[in-house]
Amino acid sequence: MDKNIRNLITGGSGFLGSHLAKKLLDRGEEVICLDNFFTGTKKNIKELFKYQNFEFIRHDVTEPIKLEVDNIWHLACPASPIHYQYNPIKTTKTSFIGTYNMLGLAKRVGAKILLASTSEVYGDPKEHPQKESYTGSVNTTGIRSCYDEGKRVAETLCADYQRVHGVEVRIMRIFNTYGPNMRFDDGRVISNFIVQALKDQKITLYGDGTQTRSFCYVDDLINGMILLMNSNYNHPINIGNPNEFSIKELANLVRTLINPNLEFEYKKLPHDDPKQRQPSIQLAKELLNWEPEIELKDGLLKTIDWFKNNL
């Protein structure tokens, strides 16, 4: 592979961006990390400055930028409900204007662009598991809509830039992902449970805990992301772990691994919270020869170790 590939990662100091940056740097490629630190942190990329081929630019993707790059990995957008609901208008702007700016850059310099989309485009799904052909069941005016609809319109922009301008796009629908470099306060279920358990607090379950999710360890996800960018596939594709667990099963596993004596505390289910979430990854298997390898328990042990060392 050409070692002189120049990569731009928007949201490069975030959870996924920092893992992707390290992986590309270890392959000998150049990485420009772009971030405004809304949810990303300097700590996530601290060790990357030792690489000669790493560069950091503090920048908000809602403002245009001129750079010469080969690949654009467009990950910039708050992705946890606490953060994307904090400033919902900014979230929608980041998804629309940020994607518009990055597509414009890709068009100008002839770069490939990968959009980090989301399983949230399926909303509260009526189809289970969710295939890429499913068009979703999304509330356009709910408290999650800024993110759900923001990512849907980002996908639309990618498809139209491809049709109208011939931009090479990759659209990756990411399902729940976890691992080191998650924020302690991001409100996602795995980080919530681990932090509460390590602090000997009650573990909070919303609703009755029967809602389901599928959890993909970050290393598996980054491998899928790179395979997709290097493929010729330009339609949406699910990348996630199809093993489905109820939230209560997850809570029990975290409790067992950290402190079996902790109690559960039940709270009201948030509005528009999906009841089921499970990817069909048939396309990823067939087209990318990709499927996740790390089991939930093994991934949780690695994640818990990281939280213990960083909390």
Contacts within 8 Å (CB) and 24+ apart, 86-92? 88/143, 88/145, 88/146, 89/146, 90/62, 91/146, 91/147, 91/150, 92/146, 92/149, 92/150
Cα–Cα distance, 61 to 34 (Å, whole number): 8
State whether the Cα torsion 223-70-18-74 is positive or negative: negative
Angle at 144 between CA 57 and CA 292, to 5 degrees: 70
The string of DSSP letters for 14-37 reads SHHHHHHHHHHHHTT-EEEEEE--
Catalytically annotated residue among 84, 100, 122, 147: 147
Angle at 147 between CA 143 and CA 150, to 5 degrees: 125
Is residue 147 among the annotated active site residues? yes
Nearest to 19 by CA among 173, 223, 171, 169: 223
Cα–Cα distance, 95 to 33 (Å, whole number): 18
Put residue 47 in one of left, alpha, beta given phi > 0 → left and psi -120 to 50 → alpha.
Answer: alpha
Structure tokens at 6: 């120049």
Neighbours of 112 (CB within 10 A): 17
Structure tokens at 1: 């592979």
Structure tokens at 109: 């310099």
Structure tokens at 179: 């691992």
Cα–Cα distance, 83 to 90 (Å, whole number): 11
The residues assigned a catalytic role are 147
